[in-house]
Amino acid sequence: MVCERLTGISMGILIVDDSSDQQALLRSILGQAGHTNLLSADSAQAAFSLLDMDGQAPPSRINLILMDVLMPELDGVDACRQIKSRPHLCDIPIIMVTAKSDLSNLQAAFAAGAIDFITKPVNRIELLARAASALALKKEMDCRKTREEELRRSNDELQQALREVKVLRGLIPICASCKKIRNDSGFWQQLEDYIGEHTEAEFSHGICQPCVKKLYPGVYQE
């Protein structure tokens, strides 16, 4: 199954915070809980480099972003907005990490595309619970998109196969005497030649009993 194939993939977390102490704290909590695929960036621009903002495919090693709200140059809300504006990155969940005094910025953060928030000082249980929920959501979204892609590919293959199948349709002119068929170019063809060109059928030749009786009256036995 699609989701079973994705189960063993390590889910990566990108920590974006201008404080090295805060980075170290988050890495320690997450690492002790078994999250080994951890990346850090000390600014929004550094995070953009890791995310390949101008690329076409989502970074396979980043499945969740923990974004500090207050950072120099470009704050977390604007960074979140820019990340979510990229089609190949918009499915990566972003959790804002904010001091209690910054709660007024949360409305703007959610409007920018964030899905959740954690307040400082970070509580270990809260961090792990919210991270686990976001990663589960990301995994389900990846499963769904993979299923949709496989269905689209299967449908394309089916449509291509149907286009390649030759089907006889419409009125076919056939001679009442010799049974030849007049093709689209106006020429008369043997029945088997015409059918062979317009279908995937193959022929094996024999003689039916009425024809044997007619052609070989001395051989045919009643």
Supply the CATH number for residue 20's domain: 3.40.50.2300
Residue 222 CB neighbour total at 10 angstroms: 3
Of 31, 29, 26, 100, the residue nearest 65 (C-alpha): 26
- The C-alpha torsion from 51 through 70 and 75 to 140, rounded to 10°, is 40
pTM attached to this predicted model: 0.68
Residue 120 CB neighbour total at 10 angstroms: 17
Per-residue pLDDT of the chain (222 residues; tens, 9 = 90+): 445 444 445 789 999 999 999 999 999 999 999 999 999 999 999 999 999 998 888 887 899 999 999 998 999 999 999 999 999 999 999 999 998 777 778 889 999 999 999 999 999 999 999 999 999 999 998 899 889 989 999 888 888 777 766 666 677 888 888 888 888 888 898 888 888 777 777 777 777 878 777 777 776 566
Secondary structure class of 84 (helix, strand, coil):
helix
Helix (H) / strand (E) containing 162: helix 124-164
Instruction: Identify the domain containing residue 138 by its residue range.
Output: 2-157
Q: How many domains in the chain? A: 2
Task: Evaluate whether residue 113 is within a structural domain.
Answer: yes
Domain boundary among 137, 157, 177: 157
Query: Do 6 and 112 belong to one domain?
Result: yes
Any idea which residue has 């079973």 for tokens?
4
Of 93, 97, 98, 81, the residue nearest 135 (C-alpha): 93
